[in-house]
């Protein structure tokens, strides 16, 4: 005889996350025991929990995604954000933050600044920081270079691999009031001959960027860039968003 499923939905247990995350999102042992008690009294939920515990699939040998990294840092999030995720008011989404800057006659550029504005084809972030309530796991950075055509505008640049004179320089990434990526050679963005996304550098140690915290991504090299030169940075990862 099928279970009576009327009023059976539980915003905590029936979230998209597994049982370990559900329990991690609760603030006390008493809350965890109360949830487990509700599960045990309900045949459908008891069977589901049993399947999760005893019939878990084998761990995949594939490398972890930024979503996996985000879930491992679940308890670092504020309680209200954890509960919003578990209650499906918010979700984890793939994210690509991009910004384009002109570097003509320069040998240093701050890719993220407090006077940046969202402009299609130029940037999808304002003020060099995440919007309120958003948290972001930075998994990789793509850095590209191009020269504008006759329009002399970022709108018609065909971006590609960084030229030699820029790759001889270095970069640093700052967020949350600390240095997340210390000074590093721009050569890491040289993907020439590699079977991967052009100019992409994947972090072995992904970084959590907190909401409303200024980010600073500074690039410096040895010789002035020619006229109409542009650099494009894309930050890849997972972030929190509304459903």
pLDDT tens string, the chain, 243 residues long: the values are 444 444 444 444 444 444 444 444 444 555 555 665 666 666 666 556 545 443 444 444 566 777 787 878 788 888 888 888 888 888 989 999 999 999 999 999 999 999 999 999 999 999 999 998 899 999 999 999 999 987 778 888 999 999 999 999 999 999 999 999 999 999 999 999 999 999 999 999 999 999 999 999 999 999 999 999 999 999 999 999 888
pLDDT on residue 36: 58
- Could you give the domains of the chain? 19-86 (no CATH), 93-242 (2.60.120)
The predicted model scores a pTM of 0.75
pLDDT on residue 39: 61
Phi, psi of 165 (to 5 degrees): -65, -25
pLDDT on residue 53: 40
Phi, psi of 100 (to 5 degrees): -115, 135
pLDDT on residue 56: 46
Phi, psi of 29 (to 5 degrees): -60, -35
Phi, psi of 11 (to 5 degrees): -65, -20
């Amino acid at each position: 005889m099928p279970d009576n499923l009327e009023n059976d939905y539980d915003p905590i247990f029936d979230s998209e996350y597994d049982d370990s995350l559900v329990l991690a999102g609760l603030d006390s042992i008493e809350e965890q025991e109360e949830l487990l008690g509700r599960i045990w009294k309900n045949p459908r939920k008891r069977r589901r929990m049993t399947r999760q515990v005893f019939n878990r699939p084998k761990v995949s040998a594939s490398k972890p995604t930024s979503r996996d990294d985000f879930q491992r840092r679940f308890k670092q999030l504020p309680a209200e954000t954890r509960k919003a995720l578990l209650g499906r008011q918010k979700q984890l989404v793939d994210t690509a933050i991009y910004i384009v800057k002109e570097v003509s006659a320069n040998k240093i550029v701050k890719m993220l600044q407090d006077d940046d504005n969202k402009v299609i084809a130029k940037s999808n972030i304002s003020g060099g920081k995440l919007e309120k309530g958003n948290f972001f796991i930075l998994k990789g950075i793509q850095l590209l270079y191009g020269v504008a055509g006759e329009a002399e505008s970022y709108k018609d640049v065909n971006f590609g691999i960084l030229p030699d004179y820029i790759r001889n320089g270095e970069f640093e990434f700052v967020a949350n009031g600390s240095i997340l990526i210390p000074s590093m050679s721009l050569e890491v963005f040289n993907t020439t001959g590699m079977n991967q996304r052009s100019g992409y550098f994947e972090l072995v140690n992904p970084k959590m960027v907190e909401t409303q915290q200024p980010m600073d991504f500074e690039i410096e090299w040895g010789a002035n860039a020619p006229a109409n030169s542009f650099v494009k940075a894309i930050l890849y990862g997972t972030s929190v968003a509304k459903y």
